């Protein structure tokens, strides 16, 4: 039965060019969307950029250009990742310039205001521009932001506040019962602990002076702009039509069987606490699931532009290939705990799994069909006891992949594909097709044994293409093409995966 899914990434600040950490979330979300499309479901996947942050203004000032010029230029680099990483997103929203966004933000503000959830007060606090968040002194680590390691600035001004505290009990119930599902369970516990400690109302506006005039104005109050996180979170509903296209919004937000947010752990509070409360206030349906991924690190440190350890994913895709980069992120990145990125790990994994395993199996299979059967694929044998393990790997893969991705375990999902390659190569070594071919020539043995082996292997390669499609769509398509017969014959195979070498440490 076909279902409908709406899947989103977080939208990153565009205060610098993308790094490999951004690519992880994009690839994971793309795989989830592709897999569900592959199953025949209706899917909308969405990403974009968060343009209205103060750090973007600071980036523009440093270059001596306007904020709009700055964010348009940098946002283009993020949009270009679609080609570099072979992504299949259906929508890309830029919050500063997309005509759908401001009307939706204004409507959301009005809805929360009508619920009586805004009030004004003067406030003094410790503000991290990198997080765009006020921190309490007890949350700081040695006086520094726990996310960015910077010393927050002291801010004192009059802002609009949102009555977050009003929704404390409701949020606890929604999250504890998994009506709002947070994965993995450790992040669910983290959110519940934060809420149960007591929620404080949070500021949802900034003075125009401190925002340098950049951002969406508070409706009816030109002295204030809407807090960037309130504005940015709204992208999940403004892009599908909230405030500008009710039919599309109803179809994709209200009408989806699952609304899924894929985010990094550093922005969990915004998505699992602030955002649901805003939607409750506005009377809008909540997301169903929030999947929280860990970070990629470099030498154990968080990847960031300021740390000078931010590899550009476009450069990596150019050097090693898009599918090699995608594969490493799916095969090596842990579901729990941060994962260190190195070129050595990427190259080793691509060579082991793609070149030596999957690519080798396809190449040797098709080469043997050409050598021993002139390119004609023999009919499959109904019974083939020697292929029991191989057939089990193939038949189990569909369910294993679906189960793993439902649990957001990408590593386990691709292991099901690798298992087919392992069993296929093991089957070749066990059955020794070259020996069977020799027996046909020298002992005039029946061709049925070799036919059964070759047919089994071609079937395996075709299954590999099918199961690999959500993960490595380009390589899957090449495998399928090479396994396709034209006028009853396959063509000479070409190498699917080049062996990689490290181009720089």
Question: For the chain, how many residues are written?
Answer: 505
Q: Can you name the residues that pair with 159 across neighbouring β-strands?
A: 121
Q: Which helix (H) or strand (E) holds 108?
A: helix 101-114
Q: Can you name the residues that pair with 298 across neighbouring β-strands?
A: 301
Tokens found for residue 363: 């190449």
Contacting residues for 6 by C-beta, under 8 A, at least 6 apart: 43, 44, 46, 240, 252, 253, 256, 258, 259, 260
Cα separation of 423 and 396, whole Å? Answer: 12
Contacting residues for 315 by C-beta, under 8 A, at least 6 apart: none
Q: Which helix (H) or strand (E) holds 4?
A: strand 4-9
User: Taking the model in full, what pTM does it have?
Assistant: 0.93
Report yes or no: 31 and 317 within 8 Å, Cβ to Cβ. Answer: no
What beta strand segments (E) does 265-370 contain? 289-293, 296-298, 301-302, 339-340
Q: List pLDDT tens digits, range 302-337.
A: 776 666 667 899 999 999 999 999 999 999 999 889
Report yes or no: 326 and 471 within 8 Å, Cβ to Cβ. Answer: yes
**Cα-atom radius of gyration of the chain, to the nearest Å?**
26
Peptide bond into 184 cis (omega under 30): yes
User: Which pLDDT does position 477 carry in this prediction?
Assistant: 97
User: Which pLDDT does position 300 carry in this prediction?
Assistant: 82
User: Which pLDDT does position 170 carry in this prediction?
Assistant: 98
Q: List pLDDT tens digits, range 452-497.
A: 999 999 999 999 999 999 999 999 999 999 999 999 999 999 999 9
Residue labelled with tokens 């009030």: 119
What are the angstrom distances between the C-alpha of 143 and each of 125, 300, 456?
A: 13, 22, 64
Q: Can you name the residues that pair with 93 across neighbouring β-strands?
A: 48
Of 287, 274, 39, 311, the residue nearest 183 (C-alpha) = 287
Cα distance between the two ends of the chain:
49
What are the angstrom distances between the C-alpha of 447 and each of 139, 362, 364, 454?
A: 73, 22, 19, 11
User: Which pLDDT does position 261 carry in this prediction?
Assistant: 98
Q: Can you name the residues that pair with 157 across neighbouring β-strands?
A: 123
Low-confidence ranges of the chain (pLDDT < 70): 129-133, 148, 304-309, 504-505
User: Which pLDDT does position 148 carry in this prediction?
Assistant: 63
Catalytic residue numbers, as ranges: 19, 22, 128, 131, 145, 148, 302, 305
What domains appear along the chain, each with residue ranges and CATH number? 4-293 (3.40.50.620), 322-482 (1.10.730.10)
User: Which pLDDT does position 131 carry in this prediction?
Assistant: 64
Residue labelled with tokens 């790094």: 19
Write down the H helix ranges in 433-472. 433-442, 448-468
């Amino acid at each position: 039965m076909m279902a409908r899914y709406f899947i989103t990434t977080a939208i990153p600040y565009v205060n610098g060019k993308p790094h490999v950490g951004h690519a992880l979330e994009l690839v994971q979300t793309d795989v989830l969307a592709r897999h569900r499309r592959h199953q025949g479901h209706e899917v909308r996947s969405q990403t974009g950029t968060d343009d209205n942050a103060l750090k973007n203004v600071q980036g523009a000032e440093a270059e001596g250009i306007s904020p709009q010029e700055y964010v348009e230029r940098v946002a283009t680099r993020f949009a270009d990742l679609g080609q570099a990483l072979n992504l299949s997103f259906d929508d890309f929203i830029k919050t500063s310039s997309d005509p759908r966004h401001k009307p939706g933000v204004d409507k959301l503000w009005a809805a929360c205001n009508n619920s009586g959830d805004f009030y004004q007060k003067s406030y003094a606090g410790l503000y991290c521009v990198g997080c765009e968040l006020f921190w309490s002194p007890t949350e700081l680590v040695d006086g520094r932001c726990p996310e960015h390691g910077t010393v927050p600035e002291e801010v004192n001004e009059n802002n609009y506040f949102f009555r977050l505290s009003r929704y404390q009990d409701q949020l606890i119930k929604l999250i504890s019962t998994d009506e709002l599902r947070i994965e993995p369970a450790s992040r669910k516990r983290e959110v519940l602990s934060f809420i149960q400690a007591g929620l404080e109302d949070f500021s949802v506006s900034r003075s125009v002076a401190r925002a340098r005039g950049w951002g969406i104005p508070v409706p009816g109050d030109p002295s204030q702009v809407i807090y960037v996180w309130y504005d940015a979170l709204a992208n999940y509903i403004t892009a599908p039509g909230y405030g500008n296209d009710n039919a599309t919004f109803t179809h994709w937000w209200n009408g989806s069987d699952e609304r899924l947010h894929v985010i990094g752990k550093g922005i969990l509070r915004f998505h699992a606490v602030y955002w649901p409360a805003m939607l409750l206030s506005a009377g809008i349906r909540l997301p169903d699931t929030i999947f929280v991924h860990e970070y990629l690190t470099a030498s154990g440190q968080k990847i960031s532009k300021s740390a000078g350890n931010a590899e550009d994913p476009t450069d990596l895709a150019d050097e090693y290939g898009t599918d090699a980069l995608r594969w490493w992120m799916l095969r090596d990145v842990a579901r729990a705990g941060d994962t260190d990125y190195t070129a050595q790990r990427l190259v080793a994994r691509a060579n082991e799994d793609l070149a030596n395993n999957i690519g080798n199996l396809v190449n040797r299979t098709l080469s043997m069909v050409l050598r021993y059967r002139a390119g004609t694929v023999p009919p499959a044998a109904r019974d083939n006891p020697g292929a029991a393990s191989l057939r089990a790997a193939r038949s189990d893969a569909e369910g294993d992949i679906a189960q793993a991705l439902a649990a957001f375990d990408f590593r386990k999902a691709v292991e099901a594909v690798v298992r087919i390659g392992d069993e296929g190569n093991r089957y070749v070594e066990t059955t020794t097709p070259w020996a069977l071919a020799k027996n046909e020539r020298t002992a005039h043995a029946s061709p049925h044994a070799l036919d059964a082996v070759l047919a089994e292997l071609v079937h395996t390669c075709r299954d590999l293409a099918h199961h690999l499609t959500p993960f490595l769509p380009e390589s899957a398509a090449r495998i399928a093409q090479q396994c396709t017969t034209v006028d009853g014959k396959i063509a000479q195979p070409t190498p699917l995966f080049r062996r990689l070498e490290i181009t720089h440490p």
